[in-house]
Structure 1
Amino acid sequence: MRQILAVAAGLAVLAVSACSAPTPPRSAVPSPTPAGPATLPAPTGPHPVGSTVLHLTDTSRPDPWNLDVDARELRVTLWYPTEQRDGERAPYMTPKESELFLRARSIGGVPGDILSKTRTNAVKDAEPTGRKLPLVVLSPGFTRSVNALTSLAEDLASRGYVVAGIDHTYENYATTLADGRIAECLACDSDSDSGFGTGVVEVRAADVSFVLDQLPGKWDGSDRIDPSRIAMAGQSMGGAGAVAAMVKDSRVRAGIDMDGTTYARIPKGGFSRPFMFIGSAQHVPGAGTAEWARDWKLLTGYKRWLVMSGMEHHSFTDVPLLADTLGITPTHGTVPAARAAELTRTYVAAFLDRHLRSGRSPLLDEPSSRYPEVKLCAPPGCA
């Protein structure tokens, strides 16, 4: 039986829980005066950031959600370090994607194209720089495009990572394909089916492997990637997909699940590659986290379980950063949006630095007075 994640109305209007099946859309809870277009927080690394989009087609398999399509089409957004500081900013989403998203979430009282005006920090199609750069694959929650993880992606790119964010076609409200067609959420029609979550993460694992196969030949900057240093991170269903991708593809050396219930089964013999769970308060050990507890026992290598108090399911995404723009009053989560972004960026980077760059950070080994919201857990408890 699928578990339905109860999400408070204020933030639930922005995105459906992706670590479990989505609930029906609810009306937005407006604040008195919606703000203008949002500006994403500046990246913290030393490098300017570039971004470009790839359109890839997997002719070896039909699309699992659109039975009329005999090939799987994917849109992949890349973020990477560059030397170029000036130029046109990469779009957050198109006006049509913004309109469809707001309509699907029943968000009114703001211009339909408002999210397309979100100011990013990446320069569109800038020339990449660097050599032997580690690669991080990002996967978003169910019904969300990978733009929901833009703040995290830009920050990682500024720190010297190449980031490949995958839009899993027909699993979100709007993905613009290569020829301009808009793929809407066909998978949403199947979310009550038995085994839905397991099926979704299998699709996502296949998507990840295909992108890793194709990337070297499809991006001019791919020679700057070190293929021996690849990790994956995701939020909600994307985090569950990280587990599935690592089980399927040994090229993914390390993984992070941000607040996602897992579905793919780890082999009984155990799993030795590094993995980190980052959760909201609902993921305190023993508080209804049966899947994480199950998987924790099978993780035989480096592993971490972090719980961030005051954060809720969407705090690990751009959702809180957009709440004022959309006139949404969050009703859960006491950590301010900028602080939530800081916590997510800091701990994700610490884990990736350790396992893709042999870096060391005490953040993953002991509590920090700078980040008192973060608890290091070792089931059955937390420090």
Structure 2
Amino acid sequence: MKFIGAVGLAISVFMPFSVSADENRIDRIRPDAPALATYGAYPVGVRTLTATNPGQIDVVKIEAGKDLPRYDRPLVLEVWYPAKDANDGGNYSVFLRDGKTEVSIAGRAKRDVESHKENGEKFPLIIISHGYPGNRYLLSPLAENLASKGYVVASIDHTDSTYNDRAAFGSTLVNRPLDQHFALQEITKLTAEKDNFLSDIVDVSRTGLIGYSMGGYGAVVTAGAGVSEKAVSADWSAAARTLAIHQAGTKEHADLFDPRLKAIISIAPWGMQRGMWDEKGLSEIKVPIFFMAGSADDVSDYAKGIRPLFEGKMPVDRYLLTFADANHNAAAPMPAPVESWKRSEELGFAPFEHYADPVWDTVRMNNIAQHFATAWFDLKLKNDQDKARYLSLVEDSDQAVWAANKDGSIKPEHTYWEGFANRTAKGLRLEHRKPD
């Protein structure tokens, strides 16, 4: 540990203060990446949209004994989409975890280019919801990658939950599912506008949702799982019982569900370790879920939170992909920008810790997430039944057997993970539970 600390000190002292955006790339595909991690055939465009959800409860400003304050809730959406021509790519200007340092990262998307509108082709929608705190770029490697494969991807900046405006935790609890639902409504509205870049290219009847950490919590609620009375009344919960809007068994919660939602990926979902859901709440889930997590997650608590959530009785198909010994940053965050390696006096640590994992390489985890997200959404949103073979695997990758002849043909005893080259499926477990 002393050696690692010395290296960290050396990096903070000698790291240059100005770096090229190319050093902060979000589109890297490692040579050992699984087959479905590679970029697809579509050039990628990206645009920034602003939207307002009117008449929402202002959880941050609630005062005891007074009427619940309301406001028009502002949201920013970053939308990636298949483009007509965007081969050059471009840069993004993003804030680090400290909410003050702005850096440049590079990807394959080109800003504000014309969308792909040929032969009446329409693409499924995927909504992305970041952690607390986070921002709409945190999962950008996955967003760009999916857009290149024929998806429109809308990532939300959740008000009161970004690096720049982090506020009361209760706002995140109440608003995550509402923001996710509103993003679907907003994209639906834009697709109906003549000459909008989204018109005639999005099929919102086939919608997916990706949530990380608190976004993963929101995704589980949006999938139909109402929260428990224990969560509504807890001292860490939202003030004035405002979380009851999502309580299991209530009409208000049931009315929020949108049947256009067909598949979910929930990465390191927070809440089960605090009693967020009970058997009644889990029984209300209506959408199949693919969970991803690190076995050493001490934020959402793999043993007491994530795993019991996956194992809980629910009437849907679900999977759990586990990264052995990875912590809370498994799979979701983009690679740590070079500037984040420098210690932040305001935070008291290097923002690097917010993005990276001490065991797994981030690009490696991003590539694995891209692979399984492609298989999951292609199967569920595009009915590509061929992708099912990438999910029908020996549970423990370390027990899978590579057996091939010299000419490359596969032997009968071969059980290695589909899409992974020999010796590259290590430290992973994929479990499957059928509807209860």
Task: Settle same-fold status: TM greater than 0.5.
Answer: yes
Q: 1:349 to 1:254 in 2, by over 3 A?
A: same
Gap change, CA 1:103 and 1:76, over 3 Å in 2: closer
Match of 2:377 among 333, 352, 376: 352
The CA deviation string for residues 217-273 of structure 1, in whole angstroms up to 9 with x for no partner, is 336114311121101011111111111112142332211111122455363545342
| Matching of residues 1-383 of structure 1 within 5 Å | 30-31=11-12, 33-34=14-15, 36=19, 37=21, 38-42=24-28, 44-65=39-60, 70-86=71-87, 89=90, 91-93=92-94, 97-98=95-96, 101-102=97-98, 112-113=101-102, 115=103, 117-130=104-117, 131-174=121-164, 184-187=165-168, 191=169, 196=170, 200-218=172-190, 220=196, 221-247=198-224, 248-250=256-258, 251-262=260-271, 265=277, 267=281, 269-282=283-296, 288-290=303-305, 292-294=307-309, 296-322=311-337, 326-327=341-342, 332-359=357-384, 360-367=387-394, 368=417, 369-370=420-421, 371-377=425-431
Please state whether the residue corresponding to 2:261 is helix, strand or coil.
Answer: coil
Q: For residues 175 and 370 of structure 2, what CA distance do their matches in structure 1 show?
A: 27
Deviations 1:272-298 (A, max 9, x none): 4211111101369x9623454145323
Q: 2:99 & 2:153 partners in 1: Cα distance?
A: 29
Which whole-Å deviations, capped at 9, do the CAs of 1:19-64 have from their partners, x for residues lacking one? xxxxxxxx99955543624122256111111000111111132433
Deviation at 1:66, TM superposition (A): 5.3
Contact 1:202 1:244 in 2 (8 A): no
2:243 paired residue number: none
Whole-angstrom distance in 2 between the partners of 1:299 and 1:28: 48
Per-residue deviation at 1:323?
Answer: 5.2
User: Tell me, what secondary structure is at the counterpart of 1:61?
Assistant: strand
Which stretch shows the higher mean deviation, 234-243 or 37-46? Answer: 37-46
Identity between Structure 1 and Structure 2 (%): 22
In 2, are the aligned partners of 1:239 and 1:262 still within 8 Å (CA)? no
Structure 2 vs 1, CA of residues 60 and 45 (structure 1 numbering), >3 Å: closer, same or farther? same
> How many angstroms apart in 2 are the aligned matches of 1:297 and 1:103?
37
Question: Aligned pair in 2 of structure 1 residues 59, 28: CA closer, same or farther (>3 Å)?
Answer: farther
Q: CA 1:86–1:153 in structure 2 vs 1: closer, same or farther (change >3 Å)?
A: same
Q: Which amino acid aligns with 1:121?
A: R
In structure 2, the CA distance between the partners of 1:282 and 1:293, relative to structure 1 (3 Å rule), is: same
Q: TM-score, normalised by structure 2?
A: 0.66
Q: Tell me: CA distance 1:245–1:136, structure 2 relative to 1, closer, same or farther (3 Å).
A: same
In structure 1, stretches of 5+ residues that fail to align are: 1-9, 11-26, 105-111, 175-183
Shift in Å, 1:128: 1.3
Aligned amino acid, residue 151 of structure 2? Y
When the two structures are superposed, what TM-score results if normalisation uses the length of structure 1? 0.74
Deviates more, 1:31-40 or 1:337-346: 31-40
User: 1:230–1:349: structure 2 CA closer, same or farther, 3 Å change rule?
Assistant: same
**RMSD (Å) for aligned C-alpha atoms:** 3.1
CA contact (8 A) 2:87 2:110 kept: yes
Which amino acid in structure 2 is aligned with residue 337 of structure 1? T
Unaligned runs of 5+ in 2: 29-37, 63-68, 225-255, 343-349, 395-416
Change (3 A) 1:48 1:200: same
Q: Is the 8 A contact 2:140 2:334 kept in 1?
A: no
* Structure of larger gyration radius: 2
Number of aligned pairs?
321
